[in-house]
Amino acid sequence: MATVDNDMIGSVMNALPLDRMIAGPLQAMVQAQVAASQSYADFLMGVCVENGKAVAIEFNYDETVTDEQGAAKGTVSKTMRIPLMAAIAHPNIVIEEGNVEFEVTISQQAESSSETAGEVSTAASFGFGKFKMELKGQVSHKSTQTRKTDTRARYAFNTKVRRMEPPEALMRVIDALTEAASKPVTSSS
């Protein structure tokens, strides 16, 4: 008959560094979010801003000039500037969800079995006619004891990451830059 050794289970659980097992993944998620935010700030300042000014994409195009009746009178060269930060996808990554799963299974198994066999044999002949008595003797003993403890642990750490839109304050800056910079200007040729 197997019995559960509560002291052994308690010692296994006490030996586990549960505070680090739980705090470690949480700290890793916070540090990952800090690193992602720093990367986004580096991207904005390194790609979208140069010498303190918003980087713009500038291109020229020709626009047809018409009179009141819609007849073409010629073409005018124009230039348009678009802020780079309004024209590209922003790598703003956020950890949306984090899960830490921990499961410990401790199983014990104890077996004991005992086997005793005995047989006695002796041969003797007595002079009572056809009656003959024979005895055999044999003694054997077998004993087996097994104790097994199995500890299994499963530790899963996963996060869900998604790309966020630029923050609202930056969206207002992008709108203002786009409004100011995207008005066509006539080039002097």
Residues 6+ apart with CB under 8 A from 169: none
Residue 41 pLDDT grade (very low, low, confident, very high; cuts 50, 70, 90): very high
Task: Check residue 49 and give its pLDDT.
Answer: 93
| Within a domain: 68 | yes
**Region 50-79 average pLDDT:** 87
| Within a domain: 120 | no
**Region 155-173 average pLDDT:** 84
What HEC string does 52-75 produce? CEECEEEEEEEEEEECCCCCEEEE
pTM of the complete model: 0.55
Instruction: Tell me which residue range forms the domain holding 56.
Output: 6-112+148-186
User: Are the C-beta atoms of 114 and 142 separated by less than 8 Å?
Assistant: yes
| Within a domain: 30 | yes
| Within a domain: 52 | yes
| Domains identified in the chain, total number | 1
Task: Check residue 55 and give its pLDDT.
Answer: 92
Helix (H, G, I), strand (E, B) or coil at 167: coil
Report which residue type is found at 95. Answer: I
| Within a domain: 82 | yes
Mean of pLDDT over the chain:
75
- pLDDT above 70 coverage of the chain, percent: 64
| Within a domain: 77 | yes
Q: How many CB atoms lie within 10 A of CB 92?
A: 19
Residue 1 pLDDT grade (very low, low, confident, very high; cuts 50, 70, 90): very low
Tell whether the model's pLDDT for residue 162 goes beyond 50: yes
| Within a domain: 46 | yes
Task: Check residue 34 and give its pLDDT.
Answer: 93
* 77-134 pLDDT per residue, tens: 888 888 898 888 899 988 888 888 877 776 666 566 655 555 544 444 444 555 555 5
| Within a domain: 175 | yes
Question: Which tokens sit at 163?
Answer: 């790309």
